[in-house]
Amino acid sequence: MAAPTTESTGTAAFWADVDRHLVRYGGTFTPEIIASAAGSFVVTEDGRRILDFTSGQMSAILGHSHPEIVATVGRQVGTLDHLFSGMLSRPVVDLARRLAGTLPEPLAKAQLLTTGAEANEAALRMAKLVTGGHEVVAFARSWHGMTQAAAGATYSAGRKGYGPAAPGNIAIPAPNTYRPDFTADDGSLDWRRQLDFAFEMVDAQSTGNLAACLVEPILSSGGVLEPPPGYFAALAHKCRERGMLLILDEAQTGLCRTGTWYAFERDGVVPDILVLSKTLGAGLPLAAVITSAEIEGRAHERGYLFFTTHVSDPLVAAVGNTVLDVLERDRLDERARHLGGLLRAGLDRLALKHEVVGDVRGRGLLVGLELVEDRESKRVSDVLGAAVTRRCLELGLHMNIVQMPGMGGVFRIAPPLTASEDELALGLDILDQAIGDVVSGQSLR
């Protein structure tokens, strides 16, 4: 028997170290060792290029290793990377000012943090302090993070086995136009009746201490569910009636991904507090909580306290400024609309070709494709979804699939805003082949 090569020995040792030393933190690890990434592709140690239709963790909106981000990091880390939390630098103040300039009034004051969960913690803490309440309403298919308050408002996964969540968390049904629970005469989702019912249940459960409603404009981990036009205006009215603050979590939808700078623009609604993360750092850990001067003033008067080791770090703030430079200069909101139209048209063609494609939904370059056992029952197929995911990876496409029971057949498709038309076409071709290969090789009954 031939002796193993150094490469195979090294690979075996790598995976042995994974088994021996890494905590498994959710789902399974992709069975590839990634050595580098550039643009729309990640590259394995053995040189295989994999098209990344997830923008990393839905974050690298400018693609991997964007040259201007690389230059900014190199320049900034060599001059000023980290400071005591009470010290300020120009990149931090510049980014706060520039973010306010992209937003409608009265959103004007920003706090820069690291992750979406951390920023949601800060937003909820501020809302509770300002309103004097503690109850938080969120969608039943939500994902806002794994820290305490964010996890309390997360319902799509991770609730069982950890003991009681913080009191005052209330779930409302997510508007799902593909699987409507309240229907109009034509079978479509009657979202107004659903929303009225939801807040009847909120009022029944509330102890009179409602503080905030925390929602995503498009529920990403929940299956790329986009509430219908008019929904958020009605939701904002429900919040105002009860003295609640509306917090919009635009971790994945903010900064041009959906074809506008912010997803809430479609609905003409301005949140009381806006949370940005993922896309703001283009792959680096940067998040922001943005609110009005009035809310910030009331929070400050009441002793608002939320600082972390990396609040207002100049390194990632400089990166955030570069992200804004590229988004503005290259008009990536327009590009996302154009590429999103091409992507959607391609996915619609796949739906016509493959009976297992039950629905295509989303906006801009955040699109969902749902696989089902059959279109009549709309029965989800986690097994089919997992098989297509594996086949895509074998063919050179990484698809971000929601790996939770009941949602394993939903693909979240979010290529970088810098992807080329040819790269989108390549991804669609691979997905087409993967679905065909899986369906022809297995029974769906």
Judge whether 248 lies within some domain. yes
Judge whether 303 lies within some domain. yes
Find the domain containing 427 and state its range: 28-58+331-441
Strand blocks (E) in 96-179: 107-113, 135-139, 169-172
Within 10 A of 303 (CB to CB), how many other CB atoms are there?
Answer: 7
Q: Which of 280, 303, 329 is the last residue of a domain?
A: 329
425 in the same domain as 342: yes
361 in the same domain as 325: no
Task: Please count the structural domains in the chain.
Answer: 2
Cis amide leading into 217 (omega within 30): no
198 in the same domain as 86: yes
Residue 409: the pLDDT is: 87
242 in the same domain as 138: yes
Residue 403: the pLDDT is: 66
**Phi/psi at 7 (nearest 5 deg)?**
-65, -45
Residue 261 annotated as catalytic: no
233 in the same domain as 350: no
For 203, the token pair is 């009022």
Residue 400: the pLDDT is: 77
Residue 335 annotated as catalytic: no
Domain of residue 387, CATH code: 3.90.1150.10
Residue 105 annotated as catalytic: no
Residue 216 annotated as catalytic: yes
397 in the same domain as 270: no
349 in the same domain as 227: no
Q: Which of 329, 352, 385 is the last residue of a domain?
A: 329
Instruction: Determine which one of 242, 257, 412, 423 is catalytic.
Output: 412
Residue 238 annotated as catalytic: no
Residue 279: the pLDDT is: 98
Instruction: Determine which one of 135, 252, 267, 335 is catalytic.
Output: 252
H or E element: which one contains 201? helix 191-205
Instruction: Determine which one of 52, 190, 216, 272 is catalytic.
Output: 216
* Spatial separation of the C-alpha atoms in residues 281 and 285, rounded to whole Å: 6
Q: Are 285 and 114 in contact (CB under 8 A)?
A: yes
CA distances from 28 to 25, 55, 142, 299 (A): 8, 18, 21, 41
Residue 442: the pLDDT is: 56
349 in the same domain as 297: no
Instruction: Determine which one of 278, 335, 361, 363 is catalytic.
Output: 278
Residue 241 annotated as catalytic: no
Long-range pairs for 87-92: beta carbons < 8 A, 24 or more residues apart: 87/312, 88/312, 89/312, 89/314, 89/317, 90/314, 91/314, 91/317, 91/318, 91/320, 91/321, 92/312, 92/313, 92/314, 92/317
Residue 110: the pLDDT is: 98
Within 10 A of 179 (CB to CB), how many other CB atoms are there?
Answer: 14
Instruction: Determine which one of 249, 370, 373, 423 is catalytic.
Output: 249
Instruction: Determine which one of 135, 143, 226, 373 is catalytic.
Output: 143
136 in the same domain as 42: no
241 in the same domain as 378: no
Blockwise average pLDDT, block size 10, the chain, 445 residues: 53 96 91 97 97 97 98 98 97 98 98 98 98 98 94 92 93 97 97 98 98 97 95 98 98 98 97 98 97 98 97 98 98 98 98 97 97 92 91 94 71 97 98 97 54
**Phi/psi at 412 (nearest 5 deg)?**
-100, 120
* Spatial separation of the C-alpha atoms in residues 38 and 81, rounded to whole Å: 24
Q: Which of 329, 358, 393 is the last residue of a domain?
A: 329
